[in-house]
Amino acid sequence: MSKKRKVIEYDDTPKQKSKELKLSILPKQLVIPKQPKQKSPPQYFSLPTTIAAVGPRGSGKTYNLCIWNKWMCDNGYFTRVYVISPTYDSNPPLHLLPIRPEDIYKDKGVNHIANLSEIEQKVEADAHWYELMTTKYTEYYEKYKKVKKNVSKLEKEVVMFLRSMQSSIRNFYDNYKRLKATMTVSSPAIEYTLRYYVAPPETRIETMLETMHDDTHPWFYPPVKMKRPCPLLFIDDCSHSPLYTVSHSNPLVNLTLRHRHIGGVGYGLSIEFAVQTFLSGIPKALRGNTMQFLCFHTYDLKTIDDIYNEVGSYCSKGAFMKLYFQATKDRHDFLLIDTNCNNRHMTFRKGWDTIIFADDDLDSIDSGNEEDDESEEES
């Protein structure tokens, strides 16, 4: 006859508060200088972010992501969009985004890893160019203006740098003009830069007026006006490709871990995944670094349970199930879970624009309002 094991239960209810001795040695917080950051929409999420859309085939993942992405581009939040999708040609919602032809990657499987590396290099290059234009080039150009464009009064280093940058700036503008002519959907970021384009003057000889453009008074491009780079990488229809392997050496996992730091402080890369399954579709390392989840309707209760256990436990399970079925009742609707939300009452949304409250949240909000009412009565 087997002996019954004695179960020891720990009662964590505090009976008497332990004594404390506060030393007060370390500062309460670090004083960190204000850092530049990407412009973020106050209605939605801080950028850069990572978003996963999870749902069966035909549930509307790509369509709904494109609705948000287009709004973000049109309103100047995303300045450049990269797409990895072997089904790009047959996916009309993707064609509504302002994507440069060279930023569309339609290769299947084997080349996805190389594509990631190339995209990261482009993001780094854009951040470097913006930093160069807004710091060193602007500083030296102001010195050039201060001496009324007489470079004989400038340090040799300044003149050499300004001269060396002219062909790069000209090539940059030529590329933007080419993109404007070839992109099927115009890019607001490119349009913005070209609005401030200043064409070089015609070559002139010395005149009585002080507008000559000789070796002593050369003409230099003004600093390029640009939106701060805020790129997006959209990965669609790549399930069961090397991008979603569970290996720790998977470059997508590594890229996602570093996405806020790519390009340096204040830059970064937002990433979106569209997958059909939750646990098997997104490796755990990616799920752990995803900030928003778009959960589409499924009849698989096990999947809903998995979602709750990993990212939905901001409320009771019963309250979560009620939220999920309320949010996904209509076709192509989804429950949005924002795990990076500063206010936990804003964690859940039905679609992009409807905030919904769990029953647990309503109870805490109501109790908070009652306390406020009581305090007002006492005062």
- Distance, CA of 59 to CA of 236 (rounded, Å): 13
What are the two backbone dihedrals, phi and then psi, of residue 227, each rounded to the nearest 5 degrees? Answer: -75, 145
Neighbouring-strand partners of residue 52: 273, 293
Over the stretch 220-238, which tens digit does the pLDDT of each residue have?
999 999 999 999 999 998 8
In this structure, are residues 212 and 64 in contact, taking their beta carbons and an 8 Å threshold? Answer: no
Band (pLDDT 50/70/90 cuts) for residue 259 is very high
- Distance, CA of 291 to CA of 288 (rounded, Å): 8
Nearest to 218, CA basis, from 298, 153, 123 = 153
CATH architecture assigned to 50-117+229-368: 3-Layer(aba) Sandwich (3.40)
Nearest to 100, CA basis, from 172, 174, 173, 186 = 186
Task: Check pLDDT > 80 for residue 378.
Answer: no
Amino acid in the structure at residue 268: G
Neighbouring-strand partners of residue 233: 82, 271
Burial of 36 (0-12, 13-18, 19+ CB in 10 A): exposed
Q: What does R_g of the chain's alpha carbons equal in angstroms?
A: 27
Task: Check pLDDT > 90 for residue 35.
Answer: no
User: For the chain, what percentages of helix, strand and coil (3-state, to nearest 5) are there?
Assistant: 40, 10, 45
- Percent of the chain past pLDDT 70, that is, above it, reads 87
Strands 348-350 and 334-338: antiparallel
Sheet holding 334-338, edge to edge: 104-105, 80-84, 231-236, 270-275, 50-54, 292-296, 334-338, 348-350, 354-355
Dihedral-angle region of residue 273 (phi above 0 means left; psi in -120 to 50 means alpha; beta otherwise):
beta
What are the two backbone dihedrals, phi and then psi, of residue 52, each rounded to the nearest 5 degrees? Answer: -120, 125
Task: Check pLDDT > 60 for residue 10.
Answer: no
Burial of 263 (0-12, 13-18, 19+ CB in 10 A): buried
Helix axes 317-327, 359-378, angle to 10 degrees: 110
In this structure, are residues 133 and 224 in contact, taking their beta carbons and an 8 Å threshold? Answer: yes
Task: Check pLDDT > 50 for residue 370.
Answer: no
Nearest to 276, CA basis, from 301, 239, 246 = 239
Residue in the structure block whose two tokens are 């302002």: 98
pLDDT value, residue 363: 55
Task: Check pLDDT > 50 for residue 16.
Answer: yes
pLDDT value, residue 360: 67
Segment 147-152 mean pLDDT: 92
The domain spans of the chain are: 50-117+229-368
Nearest to 240, CA basis, from 283, 281, 187 = 281
Q: Please, what is the average pLDDT of the chain?
A: 87
Over the stretch 179-208, which tens digit does the pLDDT of each residue have?
999 999 999 999 999 999 999 987 655 544
Residue in the structure block whose two tokens are 């003409």: 219
Tokens of 310: 């990993």
Task: Check pLDDT > 70 for residue 12.
Answer: no
Over the stretch 291-340, which tens digit does the pLDDT of each residue have?
999 999 988 889 999 999 999 888 889 999 999 999 999 888 999 999 99
Distance of CA 309 to CAs 210, 289, 325, 350, Å? 73, 16, 16, 19
